[in-house]
Amino acid sequence: MHDGQQIPLALTTSELPSFSNFVVGLNDEVVMALRNFARAEADSLIFLYGQAGTGVSHLLQASSHLAAELGKKSLYLSLAEPGLNSKILKDLDFIDHLYLDDVQSIAGDENWEEDLFHLFNQFRDGNKCLLIAAKQLPEQLSVTLPDLKSRLSGMVRYHLKKLTDKEKSVAIIIKAQALGLKLSSEVSNFILTRGPRDLRELMQCIHKLDQASMISKRAITIPFVKQTLDW
């Protein structure tokens, strides 16, 4: 493994999560903190929490990409990934910046909690950078190992806030541009008005429209959106 190489990030789309394609909204402080984290210029133990669809995973991967670009050995890992075993946490001593997403998925599992506790101590004692993310505050997680809960609760914490509808509209346009789609303001407003409230689900709608447009060779109009998304 060479310096600056990021491992492993299972993305197949043409758009990699980055700070440049993240709509900040009221999250300036969080974005700055994760930029500084990637540069190892601030707190090295961070807990980030936010509801589904707020962009937590996007920001973790954006920070991980930046760390890799700066020559760090960086790893983003979602603990909600099917088939993962807690033993994966035991062989990460070569990592400089570790991003553990969806920690709520392993709360209550004795093996995961114990291995995460030891990994936390390893990164703390080695002055390495560890960013843990979940949908809830540490105190709200169903963690049963007291020492782990104490460690998580003692981390510097940031809350990722939801976007307003106007900010979601900007996010839709940015996503469409990244995929090479042309969306009129009329169409984007229609998608925002008729579509799901969750930002992640909205982005999935844009991907579906992109695929359907490529197959049919049709422009994305309101009738096309209605037909494709069954609205």
Q: Tens digits of per-residue pLDDT, 28-37?
A: 999 999 999 9
Same fold, 28-159 and 165-229: no
- Classified by CATH at the fold level, domain 165-229 comes out as Helicase, Ruva Protein; domain 3 (1.10.8)
CATH number attached to the domain at 28-159: 3.40.50.300
Mean pLDDT score across all residues of the chain: 88
pLDDT in tens, 155-184: 999 999 988 888 888 888 888 888 888 888
Three-state DSSP class for residue 126: coil
pLDDT given for residue 3 in this prediction? 42
| Mean pLDDT for the stretch of residues 88-106 | 95
In percent, the amount of the chain with pLDDT more than 70 equals 94
Neighbour count for residue 110 (Cβ, 10 Å): 10
pLDDT of residue 6: 37
Q: What is the pTM of this model?
A: 0.79
Read off the pLDDT band of 4 (50, 70, 90): very low
Place of tokens 């707190």: 43
Whole-number pLDDT of residue 1: 35
Average the pLDDT over 4-19 and give the result: 51
Say yes or no to pLDDT of 72 above 90. Answer: yes
Give the start-to-end residue ranges of the domains of the chain: 28-159, 165-229
Best CA proximity match to 74, nearest among 48, 49, 100, 55: 100
